[in-house]
Amino acid sequence: MNTSLDTSNASDATTLSRPASSVAARPMLPPITDGSGIRWAIQDTLSMTWRNLTTIRRVPQLLVFGVVQPVIFVLMFRYVFGGAITVPGASYVDFLMPGIFVQTVSFGAINTAVGLAEDKNKGLLERLRSLPMSRSAVLGGRVFADTVRNVFIIVLMLLIGFAVGFRTHTNVVMVIAGIGVLVLFGLALAWLFALIGLSVTNGEAAQAAAFPIMAPLVFASNAFVDPSSMPGWLQAWARHQPVSAAADAMRACVLGGPTASKVLISVAWSLGIAAVLAPIAVRRYRRT
Amino acid sequence: MTLTATSPGPAIVADGLVKSFGDVHALQGVSFEVPTGTVLGLLGPNGAGKTTAVRILTTILRPDAGRASVAGYDVAAAPHMVRRSIGLAGQYAAVDENLTGHENLFLVGRLNHLSKANATQRAGELLDQFHLTDAANRPARTYSGGMRRRLDLAAALITHPPVLLLDEPTTGLDPASRQDLWGVIASLVSDGTTVLLTTQYLEEADRLADRIIVIDHGKIAAEGTAAELKATLGATMVALQFDDTAAAQSAVELLADLQATHPPADPFTVTLPLFGGAGTVRDVLNRLHDRGLTVGRFDLHEPTLDDVFLSLTGTLGSSLTAGSNASQKEQVSA
């Protein structure tokens, strides 16, 4: 194999400049691996994560727009509607902010779909498929980078919450545990949106496909109001769906009260969603 | 070159490739071989099946039937080994717009499992080689169309792969950038790299390829060197230019038995191969005269690949239209 790379006699008849060091093309083929080894899977996933995080750094608008929407919701519900909303057992701002965190993670996950659809649209996925890299790293790197982004945004929203009067009633460990529950929820949603991103042709289509899925989950939930005020059929939905479960768990973690069962329900939702959708998304990636 | 002595087998083998997408039969039994160290031009209009063939050879797509091997490895049985051995430069420059030129190359190097030091070094060498050093630390979205193609090609070369697949490498580029890229590709070939090149441009195939396969509707329409293909049309071509398109159209119909056609994007002109020598010339002119069609200009030339392509597929006009669409797209995205 290497012998076919012996090009030391290459004549350079074109205008190309060739540094002396590369005239003799050195064999530099990638090491022989089967591409599925754990070590390469991790390294490739980290490479793709680096690439995705660099994109976020290079185009900070993505992050800014991701924060603007929840901030508007905070201001609107805290100061416009908040006075008219009563919730059992807590001040409204304390009830609201955990819901806002869940909303931020939920809508933020749409980025996973948009990013993948754009990579597909730009032809980048074609190139990546032709490389001897791990088959799971493209999706893994996307999901991982979006998780890092989620942590950053949740912390930012936490600070904004403090600024508008939100206070935690537990301890730091519980708050971190709550963030962990949300990050896990975001991770589960990322697989849903990876699947959507691979199924559409570009970023706008991904956005258009993702919003109708998330809107009923986020708005018909207990994120902003107590479902008791909703009609019966809607209550049933609002009390038993993953966004409400995540909001319940986060509220318990920052406000106190019985916590373990709520955290377990949300974690179960997240693991269930990921267990079903991650394999489907990976299969879809290999197939398309 | 000692290449042929050390690597006797063909670098690329396609054997009866079949691929359909629903009702669209992209490939209907395509077979060819590319000897190591040579360039094969896969020439055809849009939708002929060129890209499908490339996607199969790069393991991105599985054929419905048939076998293929690249660098001695079967694409179905050893896809990972194939991926180690190839570089792919795609139709729409597959660079990450938000990464800099250097970061793009570094990423591809790392995903090829080069060490960080090697990936950095190779990125620097290639940026230098492709005249991108000044733009190395600018995001690729600030690059011109030609610079993106060069970066895309550089990314395909990061590991010195022995086999290179170039899918319409110059589609949508302006003539100067195309000339520039042709120089780059020609120098790779002189390095002994095996290249499979798809193109809609006859001039490109003529200039770069050792052998040419004309592909149309998923089938091989003709195969040979540029000279051989031109020879299939017989000796000389006649070009008749008319003052208006209606007269030219009438002439095409009148001389259909002599394989008269319009060259691409020129409705005023009619070309036909001169199989019968001077007798045919007299016959043609007499028939036009009898019909009252006045020839404005009369011209004899040796057949070009354009003539070959036109007589084989009759669709060059549409492929040229598609080419200009692609260049518009390029400008919009640039």
User: Closest Cα partner for A121 from A36, A47, A187, A203?
Assistant: A203
Of residues B328 and A245, more confidence is placed in A245
Task: Give the closest of B2, B83, B183 to A132, CB-based.
Answer: B83
Q: Is B331 on the interface with A (CB under 8 A)?
A: no
- Given a cut of 70, the residues of chain A with pLDDT beneath it are 1-36, 288
Task: Give the closest of A7, A15, A132 to B84, CB-based.
Answer: A132
Residue A190 belongs to a domain: yes
Domain parsing of chain B, residue ranges: 3-230, 234-302
Phi, psi of B239, deg, nearest 5: -120, 125
B 182-201 residues with CB < 8 A to A: 183-184, 186-187, 190-192
Interface test with A, best of B113, B130, B185 (most A CBs within 10 A): B113
In this prediction, residue B93 carries a pLDDT of 63
Average pLDDT score over chain B: 84
Task: Give the closest of A5, A30, A44 to B162, CB-based.
Answer: A5
Residue A65 belongs to a domain: yes
Q: Kindly report, residue by residue over B241-250, the tens digit of the pLDDT.
A: 888 888 888 8
Contact A133 B111 (CB under 8 A): yes
Q: Write the ipTM.
A: 0.81
C-alpha–C-alpha distance, residues B308 and B305, integer Å: 5
In this prediction, residue A282 carries a pLDDT of 87
Contacts of B86 in chain A (CB under 8 A): 130
DSSP string, B32-78: EEEETT-EEEEE--TTSSHHHHHHHHTTSS--SEEEEEETTEETTT-
Q: Kindly report, residue by residue over B15-55, the tens digit of the pLDDT.
A: 999 999 988 899 999 999 999 999 999 998 888 899 999 99
In this prediction, residue B8 carries a pLDDT of 58
Tokens of A20: 């002396």
C-alpha–C-alpha distance, residues B209 and B227, integer Å: 11
How many whole angstroms from its chain centre is CA A271? 15
Residue A10 belongs to a domain: no
Contacts of A44 in chain B (CB under 8 A): 110-111
Contact B113 A40 (CB under 8 A): yes
User: Domain of A238?
Assistant: 42-287
Task: Give the closest of B3, B90, B98 to A55, CB-based.
Answer: B98
Write the single-letter amino acid at A186.
Answer: G
Opening angle at CA A207, ends A202 and A211, nearest 5: 155
Residue A16 belongs to a domain: no
Q: Kindly report, residue by residue over B51-82, the tens digit of the pLDDT.
A: 999 999 999 999 999 999 999 999 999 999 99
Run of H or E residues at B99:
none
Residue A96 belongs to a domain: yes
- pTM for the model: 0.78
Residue A4 belongs to a domain: no
CATH superfamily of B234-302: ACT-like. Chain A, domain 2 (3.30.70.1150)
Q: Quick one: pLDDT band at residue B295, thresholds 50, 70, 90?
A: confident
Question: Which CATH entry fits the domain spanning B3-230: 3.40.50.800, 2.120.10.70, 3.40.50.2300, 3.40.50.300?
Answer: 3.40.50.300
Contacts of A25 in chain B (CB under 8 A): 160, 191
Tokens of B108: 């591809």
Q: Which residues contact B274 (CB under 8 A, 6 or more apart)?
A: B234, B235, B236, B237, B238, B280, B281, B300
Contact A1 B55 (CB under 8 A): no
Domain count, chain A: 1
Residue A73 belongs to a domain: yes
Nearest CA in chain B to A54: B99
DSSP state of A66: H
In this prediction, residue A25 carries a pLDDT of 47
Contact B183 A18 (CB under 8 A): no
Residue A89 belongs to a domain: yes
C-alpha–C-alpha distance, residues B50 and B61, integer Å: 13
User: Closest Cα partner for B275 from B249, B307, B246?
Assistant: B307
Q: Kindly report, residue by residue over A40-71, the tens digit of the pLDDT.
A: 899 999 999 999 999 988 888 878 878 888 89
User: Closest Cα partner for A19 from B226, B131, B269?
Assistant: B131
In this prediction, residue B211 carries a pLDDT of 93
In this prediction, residue B273 carries a pLDDT of 78
